[in-house]
Chains A and B, each alone.
Chain A
């Protein structure tokens, strides 16, 4: 006893070998869906070397930890934005209409490119990074900007009147907390270093549940600035300039969306 190895004619019950359009016994045509049949690709299967983005926080994250929202990066490029592209976060006001592009370089490496977004793309620090005045970074639910020391404007008037300044300490840089809408919140001037955390630091955010006790620090050496994550739980993220290569296990912030990069071996 064996199974008929191919399509069985619905008129005369004769097996029709694959590729034949008509039944050899009765001439009845083979239906189109049988002719066009092809293997469906399981959408979550990936080719080796291709990546997927797992949404850790943000749109589409359900309360069930087993129910992951995953974006497969199976094509060559994958634009993400609030209104455009393949990966759309339509409810996130921090995502620009066209925000970023995840694409594969010729050598097969995954690259994330800021497509001129308002808020930029942030990647989690794996080791201390060098930053420059103007650079932004995230820690906990806070956003920060490294700024150069302000220009001094406390010289005497031409008429000889002195400017009465508050006592000031020499500063080589400062760190500004950036609030929603781009406003400046806390602003700390420093000469050598600024530590950021929930408690006991130079900038403290006791009400930020995602901020570690000692989260990160910025250090100045001459005109070079280094941002270091000091063992935080949720990471410190620095805004990329233009584009950056990603590797397995990287975390990327786009607006409110925190994405983990998984690259299959």
Chain B
């Protein structure tokens, strides 16, 4: 709270000018003003990482659940009160468990730091569960607990995803050394030459999917094969930990250096990040995502009348093109707002529609514009981007970012 020295009006901590008289407010308003919290960059939890209960598959409500993390992880702390769903009766085991690490089976894993034998983190950096010190993998979520911090003194670094141990088995998958948190993204150990793919007849293509971890660093990669690649929770280790992925989620089709994606009627869909400041057309039924919010657009049909010629009574619809609704279930929507022909701005703090509790939405995030009877969506240089759910077969370019399940992937060609 900042009390205006001129007119004594109470102003919120991040205001620069007084609501009452417009005069500039002192930077440190009497009484320890909290610093303004800008949108965290992609991946960094908005507030403090919630002391999360152990999620069924670890990644669900865990601290590093970034903008692409579990929707159930409330960044604003209890605002949503949504408990993480209970595990669905052991649909599948955490991936690390069944992979019995044979001696030397960790070829792909980063070298253990000290000669005295590997050290393991006692607290899982992914789900915060306590673990006995001798466990390589988190008992709760299967996360690889190998401590890679140079001196062991640094805070627990996000480690390679739990799929790492399986690396030697899957030639198309290359584990990436986990950089410490502070390190620049992806000082990756040069991937082992892919030159000799063993048995499988599939021909590796030049297209790779790179997992972007919630902290912005790179996780594992998955090299796509020439032709059709069905990707899902049951298809490759890189995806196995994500309970928000359908067993078969999407198909990538690679032809040389061109690649397309098709959503295979997955439950949660595939979302493509739209370029900033580019107007993307949004059609009836399209779904898009900003921060943790999934929004669905429905166009208004023409107003009809009943059989006896009576029109249903209601507010003026002239000047409205449709509405956006918050998706909170397969057939359930939460709050909804009509879109006037003059358009709408969406943001955490600024705009017509606000998401004050979603730290992954930028202050001013995106804009809906109506022109020529069509609705377009424009990302306004938001920190975490705006994503639109893919319908049909969509071409991908190198560098495209896409959300599948609760994970973010970058497409690399060549």
Contact = CB atoms under 8 A, between A and B. Distances in A.
B85 interface: yes
Given A119-B312, A167-B358, A179-B314, A187 B335 contact: yes
Contacts of A129: none
A152 B312 CA distance: 28
Nearest to B323: A185
Interface in B71-94: 71-72, 74, 79-82, 85, 88-89, 91-92
Given A179-B300, A179-B338, A93 B293 contact: no
A95 interface: yes
Interface stretch (A9-17, A29-37, A155-163, A244-252): A155-163
Given A165-B294, A181-B317, A159 B310 contact: no
Contacts of B338: 177, 179, 185-186
Interface stretch (B21-29, B177-185, B197-205, B238-246): B238-246
Given A118-B312, A119-B310, A181-B312, A163 B329 contact: yes
Contact of A153 (B243, B302, B331): B331
A142 B315 CA distance: 5
A154 B328 contact: yes
Contacts of B60: 162
B313 A96 contact: no
Nearest to B315: A142
B142 to A, nearest CB: 15
Given A118-B308, A168-B82, A94 B327 contact: no
A94 B358 CA distance: 42
A180 B330 contact: no
Interface string A165-198: 1111111000001111111111111000000000
Interface residues of A, number: 49
A263 to B, nearest CB: 27
B124 to A, nearest CB: 20
Given A142-B315, A187-B333, A82 B310 contact: yes
Contacts of B334: 150, 166, 168, 171, 187, 189
A143 B314 contact: yes
A167 B88 CA distance: 20
Nearest to B312: A182
A255 interface: yes
Contacts of B325: 187
A25 B302 CA distance: 80
Given A166-B293, A169-B79, A186-B338, A178 B332 contact: no
Interface in B359-406: 405-406
A141 interface: yes
Given A154-B332, A161-B243, A161-B245, A166 B317 contact: no
B315 A178 contact: yes
Contact of B330 (A141, A154, A178, A182): A154
Given A142-B315, A180-B314, A182-B312, A161 B328 contact: no
Given A166-B328, A180-B315, A187-B325, A161 B244 contact: yes
Contact of A180 (B243, B317, B336, B406): B317
A15 B188 CA distance: 128
A5 interface: no
Interface string A106-122: 00000000000111100
Q: Which 8 A-B pairs have the closest CB atoms?
A: A160-B91, A181-B303, A153-B329, A182-B312, A187-B336, A119-B313, A167-B80, A154-B329
Interface of B: 60, 71-72, 74, 79-82, 85, 88-89, 91-92, 233, 243-247, 266-268, 292-295, 300-306, 308-317, 320, 323, 325-338, 357-358, 405-406
Given A157-B246, A186-B323, A187-B336, 4 more contacts: A166-B327, A171-B334, A178-B313, A179-B338
27 contacts: A82-B310, A94-B312, A120-B313, A143-B314, A151-B331, A153-B331, A154-B328, A157-B88, A161-B244, A161-B246, A162-B88, A164-B406, A165-B72, A166-B71, A166-B295, A168-B82, A168-B334, A169-B79, A177-B315, A178-B315, A179-B314, A180-B303, A180-B315, A180-B316, A181-B312, A183-B303, A185-B338
